[in-house]
Structure 1
Amino acid sequence: MGLTKRPDSYYVEFRVIDSADGKSLVLASGVQGARKKRWKVGCLNKTVAREMEAAIKTRILLGQEQTEQAKPVLFKEWAKTYLDMESVKTLRSYQDRVEIMGKQLIPFFGGKILGEIKPADVETYRGQRKKRNGSMASTQTINNDHIVLKHALNVAVRRDLLVSNPAARVPMPDPQNARDRVLSEEEWGKLYQAAKPHLQPVLLLAYQLGQRLSEIVNLTWDRVDLKRGFVTLRSQDTKTKKPRQVPITPDVRGTLQQLAKLRSLATRHVFLYQGEPLKDFRTAFRTALKDAGVIGFKFHDLRHCAATNLRRAGVDTTTAMQIVGHTSPQMWKRYNHIREEDLSQAATKLGKYLQQTTPRTLDGQAESR
């Protein structure tokens, strides 16, 4: 194939296929299905690059150039390559993956050859995973580690470094962590009133529109259309990587209009604290919960409130899912909670409907007696 010069180095390229035993490369210029393989010379000297090209070609002809699959790759080496990949760096969970790799997976799997990791090793990891204080980690925490490991090894499979993914052959148990905490109208009123002024608008968007925390704190004014009444989220703004339009309620519109009047020219962000983009309000949120006397509640539970309120308001499932950003009916059902009062109201509505559309059965029965 020849040489290619790039700013950092010369590169040697050949068209190759794997040998019959899968352990070495075979020159295959013009052969259908052959792939282009590139070697980095490491310098910008063309003479050295020509010598490297000849040496690599000789190794291939002699069957001495191993395939990637034949080369022993340690997990810690692959982990570094994996975390350096652009497709991984763009994931919203990238920083979590870096931490899980560095603090958990590499210390356990780091010295193992990638191809020698077995399902039993994954099971052993799950069994020994502990918190920093030495107690056993929760099932959800262990599952999070497992998901990162599984994805990293899936990428290795796609790159022909592994034949199969051992982490995919180990089941992840259901953490049984579904929450059903929804604020009553009284609790919501107390929480909102107890919140600091900079926190109130954030709580309102989460409670009425069901936006995720990251969607709220990263919201910029170019995403807000007060005239049309929409917040437009781009694919890079959402957890699901799918864009969506969120219609704003009258309360939210009024709040955003007030914030627009005080808008800072120093930043595009909508929600600020002391002139800076709002990032961490955990302390303020905990204080508001305490002052309001609301217990057993998390910020993410506000999405449950929004989903439940949309259903009670009679919004159809498809539209409601679009507003809060759910991609599956199963997730919608998980976030949508039915109280005893809802069931009673449903029976009342059904009774009124039957009275208007069917014969009066009970009166008929009384007359027949």
Structure 2
Amino acid sequence: MASIVKLPSGSWRAQVMRGGVRKGMTFKKHADAKRWAAEMESKLESIRAVGTAPTPKGSTVADFIDKYIEETDPVKPHGKNKKATLKRLKSEFKGVLMSEFSIIHLRDFVDKRLKQKTQDGTTVSGVTISVDLSYISTVLHWAREVRHYDVDASIANQVRSGLSRRGVNTRSNTREREATQDELSRIFEAYAKKPRQKIPMPDLIAFALASAMRQEEICKLLIEDIDEVDKTVVVRNRKHPKAKIGNDQIVPLLPAAWKIAKEHIGDRKTGRIFPYYEKSVSSSFTRICKECKIDDLHFHDLRHGAIGNLFAVGLRIEQVALISGHKDWAMLRRYTHIKARDVQKAFNDLIGSQVEKAAGTV
């Protein structure tokens, strides 16, 4: 039974109790309090009877996305790509009632996306559409499993699994671009001709090549996180497919990286080792590549080359993973640059060393 009482302030306090669950809310008007109490009683009764509640009358898919963001972002902050995607999805489904949201809406959504173009004029990729459906699925599962609303949480995954039957490729192309030695020489020479460059880009580039860190990681390293004895640094909130926040890793700084870091720390005791904005670093690198007529090279590509170099000097995959931060060792295979002739040479060297060892014991 609902209880509605008038407060000394003149507002109205509505309370509903069902199955040990108590809900309350304050309203300025008695009619609003009465309406809310009736809806809440119906919702709690539905949860008690069948385990789920009907979606609020008139609520749209966009409303649910808003509520999902409101509840989850403060707990586990969303990345900029996720925020942008959710904002776009709100616009797509702002007029669709959640109570009527079906697999047909998603079918039509995919049809529309397959005809759309990106800013550079290319067709929207299957990877992008798959991500869209993944975020829709996340919101639906949150509505069903956290808020206990009567929604079909499986429809987005059903449509996503059907993309391949449409002939849509949902696998992203692996980027293999690395900077050549000639390109690096041209970049360093070009920066040498810019004595007024505020950001010490040659040092940041050299540090990236020596540490295999991402530009955002480099720009956020703290002096307080340096271990002078072990020559390590803590990379905080390192990129992770499931849990970036709190994913702090102790990473060894190999000699070249350690030397550059110490030079930039100087006598300072606190603050960022490299106090520069990651976007400014990226923009500067893009400009210099354009000036040097180097096509399709990003600052992040330096990380690819650095990881490959770690394998080239003989580090094992688990050692490289500790430096690069990869949780899945399989992801590192593409950086090994192993060719058939390398396997032949390694095998022959191994057999040769075993023969020499055996001959020495005779």
Please classify the TM superposition score into its range, dividing by the shorter chain length: 0.7 to 0.9
For residue 311 of structure 1, report the CA deviation from its aligned partner: 1.8
For residue 232 of structure 1, report the CA deviation from its aligned partner: 0.7
Aligned counterpart, 1:78: 64
- Are 2:134 and 2:157, in contact at CA under 8 Å, matched by a contact in 1? no
Take 1:59 and 1:326, find their aligned partners in 2: how far apart are those partners? 47
Quick one: which of 341, 345, 348 aligns to 1:344? 341
Take 2:217 and 2:295, find their aligned partners in 1: how far apart are those partners? 25
Q: Kindly provide the CA deviation profile for residues 26-58 of structure 1, in whole angstroms up to 9, marking residues without a partner as x.
A: x324xxxxxx34232247x9xx8xx969x9499
Take 1:199 and 1:149, find their aligned partners in 2: how far apart are those partners? 41
Q: Kindly provide the CA deviation profile for residues 315-361 of structure 1, in whole angstroms up to 9, marking residues without a partner as x.
A: 22222212211111232224x14165xx43443232232234359xx
Q: Which runs of 5+ in 1 are unaligned?
A: 15-26, 30-35, 360-369
Percent identity of equivalent pairs: 17
Quick one: which of 160, 168, 171 aligns to 2:157? 168
Aligned counterpart, 1:142: 129
Q: Given the alignment of the two structures, is residue 112 of structure 1 paired with residue 109 of structure 2, yes or no?
A: no
Take 1:223 and 1:346, find their aligned partners in 2: how far apart are those partners? 40
Take 1:82 and 1:211, find their aligned partners in 2: how far apart are those partners? 33
Q: Secondary structure at the match of 2:319?
A: helix
Sort the Cα spacing of 1:177 and 1:74 in 2 relative to 1 into closer, same or farther, 3 A: same
Take 1:74 and 1:310, find their aligned partners in 2: how far apart are those partners? 52
Corresponding residue pairs, total: 322
The aligned runs of 1:1-369 (5 Å cut-off) are 12=15, 14=17, 27-29=18-20, 36-42=21-27, 56=37, 60=41, 68-72=53-57, 73-85=59-71, 87-89=72-74, 91=76, 93-102=78-87, 104-129=88-113, 130=116, 131-132=118-119, 136-158=123-145, 159-161=147-149, 162-169=151-158, 170-171=160-161, 173-195=169-191, 198-234=200-236, 236-239=237-240, 240-241=243-244, 242-261=247-266, 263=268, 268-273=271-276, 277=277, 279-292=279-292, 294-334=294-334, 336-338=335-337, 340=339, 343-358=340-355
Equivalent residue letter for 1:181: R
- Are 1:11 and 1:41, in contact at CA under 8 Å, matched by a contact in 2? yes
Q: Which runs of 5+ in 2 are unaligned?
A: 164-168, 192-196, 357-362
Sort the Cα spacing of 1:300 and 1:251 in 2 relative to 1 into closer, same or farther, 3 A: same
- Are 2:16 and 2:40, in contact at CA under 8 Å, matched by a contact in 1? no
For residue 113 of structure 1, report the CA deviation from its aligned partner: 1.8
Take 1:58 and 1:346, find their aligned partners in 2: how far apart are those partners? 70
Sort the Cα spacing of 1:311 and 1:204 in 2 relative to 1 into closer, same or farther, 3 A: same
- Are 2:13 and 2:33, in contact at CA under 8 Å, matched by a contact in 1? no
Equivalent residue letter for 1:163: D
For residue 90 of structure 1, report the CA deviation from its aligned partner: 5.2
Take 1:246 and 1:64, find their aligned partners in 2: how far apart are those partners? 54
Q: Kindly report the root-mean-square deviation, in angstroms, between the aligned alpha carbons of the 2 structures.
A: 3.9
- Are 2:190 and 2:288, in contact at CA under 8 Å, matched by a contact in 1? yes
Equivalent residue letter for 2:345: T
Q: Kindly provide the CA deviation profile for residues 196-230 of structure 1, in whole angstroms up to 9, marking residues without a partner as x.
A: 65223332333222222322222222223344311
Q: Secondary structure at the match of 2:124?
A: coil
- Are 1:11 and 1:39, in contact at CA under 8 Å, matched by a contact in 2? yes
Sort the Cα spacing of 1:205 and 1:12 in 2 relative to 1 into closer, same or farther, 3 A: farther
Sort the Cα spacing of 1:97 and 1:246 in 2 relative to 1 into closer, same or farther, 3 A: same
For residue 261 of structure 1, report the CA deviation from its aligned partner: 1.8
Sort the Cα spacing of 1:80 and 1:328 in 2 relative to 1 into closer, same or farther, 3 A: same
Q: TM-score, normalised by structure 2?
A: 0.73
Q: Kindly provide the CA deviation profile for residues 88-137 of structure 1, in whole angstroms up to 9, marking residues without a partner as x.
A: 245454433332232x2122211112243233322332332233577532
Take 2:217 and 2:345, find their aligned partners in 1: how far apart are those partners? 38
